[in-house]
Amino acid sequence: MAILPIQKTILVTGGAGFIGSNFIPYFLDKNKGYSIINLDKLTYAGSISNLTEVAETFRHKLIVGDICDKDLVNSIFKEYKIDAVIHFAAESHVDNSIKTPGSFIKTNIEGTFTLLEAAKRNWKTEYGHKRFHHISTDEVYGSLGDTGFFTEQTPYAPNSPYSASKAASDFLVRSYHHTYGLNVVTSNCSNNFGPKQHDEKLIPTIIRKAIQLDGIPIYGNGKNIRDWLYVLDHCKGIDQIFHKGKAGETYLMGGNNEYDNLSIAKHICRILDDVKPKKTGSYLDQICFVKDRKGHDFRYAVDATKIKTGLGWEPIEAFSPALIQTINWYLKKYS
């Protein structure tokens, strides 16, 4: 079998985490002319086991290290002649950011700065040809009421140390385009769900607590609303933005799946009642309410018109079938 020529080498940061580890196999399968250098610190939220699909390919190399390590990042740019960056790496759990905000400031702000500086230093006059794609979140826009949607023109209003650190990193990326001419794009997405998400997140927690016959904790009254985007749809959108997005622009991605947290818990419990029934009763009986977290945003919802009309992307995975796939993946993991 002929070996395909490698045309470009991309530095993917945080590629052993949830979204990154779903993105890498998809991207390499779709784009045969790329190789990926995957820089990941392998904190609690990342795992080598997330990368089994690409373990045997010569087009993926994992480097365990910190994006805040300037010497390491610069050496990667030089040794592997990095042509582009897709930057996933971030501390991302809001509760953790409330307890220990310092690590979020360091990774999300200082780490992004380190990557931007390395790109500026190593790409020099090729700024316009080598792309830096920054992955962010809709949480930077704050909280919505009962109506309305976030758009690319929505003013930033972060309400947690996590979202504030991501907002700061977004602005850093923007500044390197306007000040230095770096070819950047930023994408902000709604809540992702799917395989490989860390156990601490809402959907895995509901599944895990249910089958362990523990209380399923829901913050406050459970009426906080999120727009849910299946992770593979997000990966497809990132690919579109990376290849076709306009330099300096921001693109929002959402799944058109608005549900409050209590509805998500009930939906999962009803599916589990069908696919893994308890000996007696329903998993719904395990739902309990706990003290709401500080600064809990009420509602997120995304208007993805810009990427749909400009780049031809829209989510295609229906929510319920994708949620069933996700539940089945976690049932295997937790069995």
Q: Per residue in 202-215, pLDDT tens?
A: 999 999 999 999 99
Q: Is 162 a catalytic residue?
A: yes
Task: Please report whether residue 169 resides in a domain.
Answer: yes
Catalytic residue among 110, 138, 239, 258: 138
Task: Share the mean pLDDT of the chain.
Answer: 95
Assess contact for 314 and 242: CB atoms under 8 A. Answer: no
What 115-119 contacts at long range (C-beta under 8 Å, 24+ apart), as own/partner pairs, is 115/11, 115/13, 115/67, 115/73, 115/85, 115/87, 116/172, 116/173, 116/176, 116/182, 117/70, 118/70, 118/73, 118/74, 118/76, 118/77, 119/77, 119/82, 119/85, 119/176, 119/182
Is the residue at 273 inside a domain?
A: no
Q: How many domains are there within the chain? A: 1
pLDDT tens digits, residue range 127-162?
Answer: 678 999 999 999 999 999 999 999 999 999 999 999
pLDDT at 259 over 90: yes
Query: What pLDDT band is residue 3 in, cutting at 50, 70 and 90?
Result: very low
Catalytic residue among 34, 127, 162, 300: 162
**CB of 319 closer than 8 Å to CB of 255:** yes
- Residue 326 phi, psi (nearest 5): -65, -45
User: Does 138 qualify as catalytic in the annotation?
Assistant: yes
203 Cβ contact partners less than 8 Å away, ≥ 6 residues apart: 193, 197, 264, 268, 323, 326
The model's confidence at residue 5, banded by pLDDT at 50, 70 and 90, is low
Please confirm, yes or no, whether 139 is among the known catalytic residues: yes
pLDDT digits (tens, 9 = 90+) for 78-103: 999 999 999 999 998 888 999 999 99
70-80 helix and 111-123 helix, angle to the nearest 10 degrees? 40
Q: Which of the residues 66, 110, 139, 239 is marked catalytic?
A: 139
Q: Is 209 in contact with 216 (CB distance < 8 Å)?
A: yes
C-alpha 197/C-alpha 17 separation (Å) is 8
Contacts of 123 (CB under 8 A, 6+ apart): 130, 182
Closest CA to 191 of 248, 244, 108, 260: 260
Domain residues for the domain of 183 are 8-195+228-257+299-317
Asked if residue 218 belongs to a domain, the reply is no
In this prediction the pTM is: 0.95
- Helix (H), strand (E) at residue 74: helix 70-80
> In CATH, what number is assigned to the domain containing residue 153?
3.40.50.720
| Tokens matching residue 126 | 């090729």
Mean pLDDT to the nearest integer, 293-317:
96
Q: Is residue 31 in some structural domain?
A: yes
pLDDT for the residue 335: 87
Please indicate, yes or no, if residue 183 is contained in any of the structural domains. yes
